Structure 1
């Protein structure tokens, strides 16, 4: 049982096999159950076969719909834009948290408000967002932003607060100004952890995206899932869910690779 030891070490091949094992088991379990259901009822729509799901992918990704569009790619682009805008705006959350952690004025003004706002369920604000911003793109972006902005800001605040005061004092002694200490000393130290927090919130961002698209949208991955559910089109819903998950996984991977490349010291920390 050495492979269960705390000191076990695996080669790349063994690691790859172990990593793939649960995926293989899940796929095998699904298609076994699907095969059994289709033996009992060839018209079963709950667990489509791989052939039916591939047909669903073909119809949405490689065949034009009545509007002359490739539905999967149009939906992907619409959702990606909303998530992209929201992620870019999270820079404001990082800057706010950074300043709250270093400057007493910002902490006194914003900390308790952000702490309270973090407890407000973002989905409860959705009707208000629709009333204020309408049913367009802005309301969906704001929903995603409000859902994760306080969390990112508070996480950045705590990490900035945890930087030893000795470093700040030493920076002052060496003649560094407030801006240099803030952006040249503290921010580079906490940035890898902040990026990790952002990537761990990708799932929450996708959930808010789906919520917004399900209520008011004309395109988007979440929108399409809620449209075809009326027809129990699982051969489209399942590939869409897998596609969304794959995109989130790739985004997470890219952030991890960026951290590894840009902050090589962080891996040894």
Structure 2
């Protein structure tokens, strides 16, 4: 099995992929059962039935405002995450231009390099003072947390494109924009997308931080509200739901790379 050239069968691959999930679920069920044997009112590790009840109350029953809390919170967090993700396009453009145009590199590179080392959470009080407690400050926190990283990664990948390709494209009559968007960008885009998806976790962390301090709705907000009551029957489903959404987003990006940049895998 421990051979570099060993190829698992589909069944073996499925079993290996499921093993750690099953171990974690089994361990939780065992410990939860033991705790409830000692204390039937234990809140720290609720049973499956209590977790299911928490899902029922948040997802399929209305609250005092007549709202389905899970879906309202999901939509609020999704909008903040989606807007922030859309703004990452500017990070890609900036990094691309820094890697290809010396003037842009001289103007932005050192600033991005420095700003990338500034802890985004340390800027949160400043964002709240400047932008208030609304949506702008929460989106700004996510953007400031990952924008420099994406820009610098794109910059390094653009710089790594062989200069011979640029010269050949120039001799064939390609313009600056042609070289930028038809020669360089298609080559580095799969790796840039991988970098973005690997930063999903950081984006979610900044989202939770913003929502936990100043929000009236959102997945992160709800977790920090119910923690006062040790409502693990709600916290656990919310955490699993957020993880599932992030995993789904990661999966969609991987499928995008696989289908849209099939040639990249060959390299």
Query: 2:45 matched to 1:84?
Result: no
> Per-residue CA shift, 1:193-229, capped at 9, x if unaligned?
0000000000000000000000000100000000000
Equivalent of residue 17 in structure 2, options 13, 16, 19 = 19
Q: Which residue of 2 aligns with 1:230?
A: 228
TM-score, normalised via structure 1 length: 0.99
Q: Please list, as runs of the form range in 1=range in 2, the aligned pairs for 1:92-107 lying within 5 A after superposition.
A: 92-107=90-105
Q: Which residue of 2 aligns with 1:243?
A: 241
> Per-residue CA shift, 1:35-94, capped at 9, x if unaligned?
000000000000000000000000000000000000000000000000000000000000
Residue 12 of structure 1 deviates from its aligned partner by: 1.1
Q: Which residue of 1 aligns with 2:4?
A: 6
Query: What is the alpha-carbon distance in structure 2 between the residues aligned to residue 268 and residue 37 of structure 1?
Result: 52
Query: 2:41 matched to 1:40?
Result: no
Runs of at least 5 residues in structure 2 that lack an aligned partner in the other structure: none
Residue 130 of structure 1 deviates from its aligned partner by: 0.5
Equivalent of residue 130 in structure 1, options 128, 131, 134 = 128
Query: What is the alpha-carbon distance in structure 2 between the residues aligned to residue 256 and residue 266 of structure 1?
Result: 12
Query: What is the alpha-carbon distance in structure 2 between the residues aligned to residue 210 and residue 147 of structure 1?
Result: 13
Query: 2:194 matched to 1:196?
Result: yes
Query: 2:203 matched to 1:205?
Result: yes
Runs of at least 5 residues in structure 1 that lack an aligned partner in the other structure: none
What is the count of residue pairs matched by the alignment? Answer: 267
Residue 13 of structure 1 deviates from its aligned partner by: 1.3
Q: Please list, as runs of the form range in 1=range in 2, the aligned pairs for 1:147-158 lying within 5 A after superposition.
A: 147-158=145-156
Query: What is the alpha-carbon distance in structure 2 between the residues aligned to residue 249 and residue 161 of structure 1?
Result: 31
Query: What is the alpha-carbon distance in structure 2 between the residues aligned to residue 140 and residue 12 of structure 1?
Result: 43
Query: What is the alpha-carbon distance in structure 2 between the residues aligned to residue 132 and residue 16 of structure 1?
Result: 51
Residue 32 of structure 1 deviates from its aligned partner by: 0.2
Runs of 4+ in structure 1 over 4 Å off: none
Query: What is the alpha-carbon distance in structure 2 between the residues aligned to residue 110 and residue 229 of structure 1?
Result: 42
Aligned CA RMSD, in angstroms, stands at 0.4
Residue 11 of structure 1 deviates from its aligned partner by: 1.2
Q: Which residue of 1 aligns with 2:251?
A: 253
Secondary structure at 1:4's aligned position in 2? Answer: coil
